[in-house]
Amino acid sequence: MPPSLLITGAAGYIGSHCVEALIRQASAYGLQGVQLHLLDDLSTGHREFLEKLCALAESHRLPRPVIHEVSLTDRPALEQALKQARPEAVLHFAALISVAESVQQPDRYVRNNVEGSQNLFRAMQKSGCQRLVFSSTAAVYGNPAGAHLPLPESTPVGPVNPYGETKLAMENAIAEAAREWGLHSVIFRYFNAAGASSSGLFGEWHEPETHLIPLLLRAAARGEKLKVFGSDYDTRDGTCVRDYIHVEDLACAHLLGLKALRAFESQGAAAQVFNLGTARGTSVLEVIRAAEAVLKKDLGRGVGYDIHPRRPGDSAVLVADSARAREILGWEPVHSSMENILRTAWEWERR
């Protein structure tokens, strides 16, 4: 029987790029003939992405993916989807992801992210699926004052916003499921996902958009000013420093994580946690300057910006030590130069 995989949040930003990579590289990762089950409630994801993924799978001679338009908060429907899919593993991307929004609506984040994930884990247990690849975040580290940079996975966690708290609660629920019923998992703590697929099919598309790179590119295209949130952080130029990682490098980590899950099973059920970043921090002002270089030819003008107050919930510096992913998974970020991130994001925005 060809394998089956269920992907939650497949119509979202990182989920769609990972499914694209899965389709294009299925054979290389021992997933010939894989039957994909794409689950999304389309509250923030895009039907258009699902349609493109279905067409892509068929053009790669894979079975047409099964679409489950299901919310993680709908337990019976979720259990039915798992029962139908009988997946060998679940890749769980679905979540609300805005730091700023989570500060304003913390309860909604708990309902969707924590309760929704618990429903998913219960449905997995019921259907006998014991393999999970989970999307976590650098936001679990919060403001790691005094911590050594870049941050290894052993850095004490301490989220400073509800979004990070919900992701940490999910990591804890995964650890509990490992103890209680032997769930095997890989947990990826993404730093700042950015950029777009080199195929041009997928890219960053959030409504409303809150992320720096798309907002910066849109402001530049319209000749408007970007709002820079805070210039009084304890960083080299006063603006926040982040570790921007290309979404195609994240996708590649998921393929390697899926493969590694089988090997981890012989080593017991504890969750394997990996940071995914480049170990290179870039400040907001440095991103603006890098964007000016990329856009110069197309726009012939610089990128304007204004300094605004700090945005609640923001950490000053988040930079990843990903040595563990390199050593254990053989992962190497190869798409994540700031130039490539901005160029692919710009090509996507122009479409």
What residues line the site for ligand UFG (CB under 6 A)? 97, 99, 137-139, 191-192, 210-212, 215, 226-229, 240, 242, 284, 311, 314, 318
User: In the bound complex, what is the minimum distance in angstroms from residue 204's beta carbon to ligand UFG?
Assistant: 10
Nearest CA to 198 among 99, 3, 341? 341
- Give me the catalytic one of 163, 190, 233, 244: 163
Report, in Å, the least distance between residue 143 CB and ligand UFG: 12
Are the CB atoms for 331 and 202 separated by under 8 Å? no
Strands 89-92 and 35-39: unpaired
DSSP E strand stretches across 119-166: 131-137
Given the complex with ligand UFG, which of 273 and 318 has the nearer CB atom? 318
Q: Closer to ligand UFG at the Cβ: 138 or 170? A: 138
Is residue 190 flagged as an active site residue? Answer: no
Alpha carbon separation from 75 to 36, 70, 116, 117, 123 (Å, rounded): 21, 9, 8, 10, 8
Q: How far is the CB of 140 from ligand UFG (least distance, A)?
A: 8
Calpha distance 10→17 (Å, rounded): 8
65 versus 150: smaller Cβ distance to ligand UFG? 150
DSSP notation for 9-52? TTTSHHHHHHHHHHHHTTGGGT-TT-EEEEE---SSS-HHHHHH
Q: 173 or 215, CB closer to ligand UFG? A: 215
Nearest distance, CB of residue 36 and ligand UFG, angstroms: 24
* Cross-strand pairs, 308: 229
Closest distance between ligand UFG and the C-beta of residue 105, in Å?
Answer: 15
Cα 331–Cα 275–Cα 191 angle in degrees, nearest 5: 105
- Report how far residue 248's alpha carbon sits from residue 21's, in angstroms, rounded to the nearest whole number: 8
- Cα dihedral angle (193, 194, 200, 201), rounded to 10 degrees? 30
Q: State which H helix or E strand residue 224 sits in.
A: none
Q: Which residues are catalytic?
A: 163
